[in-house]
Structure 1
Amino acid sequence: MGGVRTRTQGGPEASAMTFMQLIDCRTNRLEEIDRLLDQWVEQTRGKRTATHAVVGKDRSDTSHVVEIVEFPSYEEAMRNSKLPETDRIFREMVALCDGMPTFTDLDVVRDARLNTDTARRFFEVLTTEDDLSAMTGLVEEHYHDHDPANEQDIVGLDHLRREMDVWRGGFDFAFRIEDRLAEGDRVCTRWSWEGTHTGDFLGIPATGKKVAMTGTTVFRFGGNGKIVEGWWQYDRLGLMTQLGALEPTEL
């Protein structure tokens, strides 16, 4: 819920960086608080400025509860605090706590999304490294690859390297990342790809043609932070048409 009172320390200075509020309380009525938070989410739909909320319970002291709420900025948090629904739900929540909750205002100075960074590094290695040995630190040995263009899934890091070398041997190419989204153990990357056909590719001799396509890749990460599974969707038929291997489709 967060942003439920006006900050009184540190002055009214504006901050363009992400802002987080940590709310610390003690309660034995967590289920009731959880229902209150559900009400707040429903009643502030389309009006709230909070983007992410996490509630945690202390494993060593189950009455100790912490809520962390993220906002685009401090100013957006203050807008959120002025919603009548926020004020009402907060007062009801305080009544369920053992004393007044404490607040800590945090300007985010580092936001390391580790799986997202590994996904970024994967595409970087694929396009800039002389060889793919660096993939060892990014991809699990038993990696499972799903590509609808292949008759069978690729299983294993070595097989993935060989598949990638087919592309690297056929094209001088580069990726442009359009969007990247992370949720749980998955990172989705929407990309654009441009290349020059400089070598043999699936039996097609080099044509020197400049080609392009778009696609999406979803990576699943294991507990050790390495990529363990991937799903690819891209316009391979369009690429083959650009290479002259297929006739253009007429609508």
Structure 2
Amino acid sequence: MTFVQLIDCKTSRLDDMNRLMDQWVEKTKGKRTATHAVVGKDRSDATHVIEIVEFPSYEEAMRNSNLPETDRIFREMVALCDEMPTFTDLDVVRDEPLQAAAARRFFDTVAVQGPLPPLNDLIAENYHDHDPANEQDTLGLDNMRREIEMWRSAFDFTFMIDDQLTQGDRVCTRWTWNGIQTGEFMGLPNTGRQVSMTGTTVFRFDGDGKLREGWWQYDRLGLLGQLGALDELEK
């Protein structure tokens, strides 16, 4: 079970505290078990600082605490605080990666059978799409809908999510696309062939939690080869 520790302290020496944390990161390289750390400063009291450190489990957190480097840094941290810091130990009982879920919902929604939903709850009106297969970027929700409809008119397809990584306002999704050609695609007549390709999409989210920008990389050449578009070139 994921474990989180909150360290609550009062200090007027935040810069020194940050330098101390940098030292800890350097000194515990290859040893520490912490997976994520966030430091927040109270907007109403600049001396009130909270550090949030995440571990895979309570046991891993205890291993981290027993490192001599952690003990030394802790003692130096206490010396920088105006008063003794307090610690809150939390077992994580719910963890919702909301942006990753929204990205996953996009892939599920565009592949659904029947009429394409409006998508305005997923994609921002001023969406900007980067697809190296297109000569120009796709700008705006309406144009993105047309791009999606082009694929839907040519294939019945599904996405399988292979992996997702989240950082800040961006979610990277590695996917596998499986489809059956049902219509013309890039001037190629309908073959009825079953095809597949792999790719990666990075979405940037806006403050409302909607897709604001996207970058695509996928094996379009491999797809064209499966549709027979490269047969003449191989002769």
Q: Distance in 2 between matches of 1:136 and 1:29?
A: 46
Match for 1:21: what amino acid? Answer: Q
2:109–2:117 Cα contact (<8 Å) kept: no
Q: Note closer, same or farther for the CA distance 1:99–1:145 as it changes in structure 2 (3 Å cut).
A: same
2:129–2:144 Cα contact (<8 Å) kept: yes
Q: Distance in 2 between matches of 1:248 and 1:144?
A: 36
Match of 1:67 among 51, 57, 63: 51
Q: Distance in 2 between matches of 1:173 and 1:120?
A: 15
1:241–1:248 Cα contact (<8 Å) kept: no
- Give secondary structure in 2 for the equivalent of 1:207: coil
2:10–2:81 Cα contact (<8 Å) kept: yes
Q: Distance in 2 between matches of 1:134 and 1:123?
A: 14
Within a 5 Å distance, the mapping from 1:77-96 to structure 2 comes to: 77-96=61-80
Deviation at 1:249, TM superposition (A): 7.5
Match of 1:168 among 129, 144, 152: 152
Match for 2:180: what amino acid? Answer: T
Deviation at 1:202, TM superposition (A): 2.0
Superposed CA deviations along residues 181-220 of structure 1, whole A, max 9, x for unmatched, are: 1111111111111111122222222211111111111111
Report the equivalent of 1:53.
Answer: 37
Q: Distance in 2 between matches of 1:249 and 1:38?
A: 56
Deviation at 1:134, TM superposition (A): 4.2
Report the equivalent of 2:129.
Answer: 145
Deviation at 1:151, TM superposition (A): 1.1
Superposed CA deviations along residues 86-108 of structure 1, whole A, max 9, x for unmatched, are: 01110111111122211101111
Root mean square deviation of aligned Cα:
1.4
Report the equivalent of 2:231.
Answer: 247
Q: Distance in 2 between matches of 1:151 and 1:225?
A: 28
Deviation at 1:37, TM superposition (A): 0.7
Gaps of 5+ in 1: 1-16
Q: State the identity as a percent.
A: 69
Gaps of 5+ in 2: none
- Give secondary structure in 1 for the equivalent of 2:231: coil
- Give secondary structure in 2 for the equivalent of 1:136: coil
Deviation at 1:56, TM superposition (A): 1.0
Match of 1:206 among 168, 172, 190: 190
TM-score computed with the length of structure 2 as normaliser = 0.95
1:125–1:134 Cα contact (<8 Å) kept: no
Deviation at 1:129, TM superposition (A): 4.9
Count of residue pairs brought into register by the alignment: 234
Match of 1:159 among 115, 121, 143: 143
Q: Note closer, same or farther for the CA distance 1:248–1:189 as it changes in structure 2 (3 Å cut).
A: farther
Deviation at 1:248, TM superposition (A): 8.2
- Give secondary structure in 2 for the equivalent of 1:137: coil
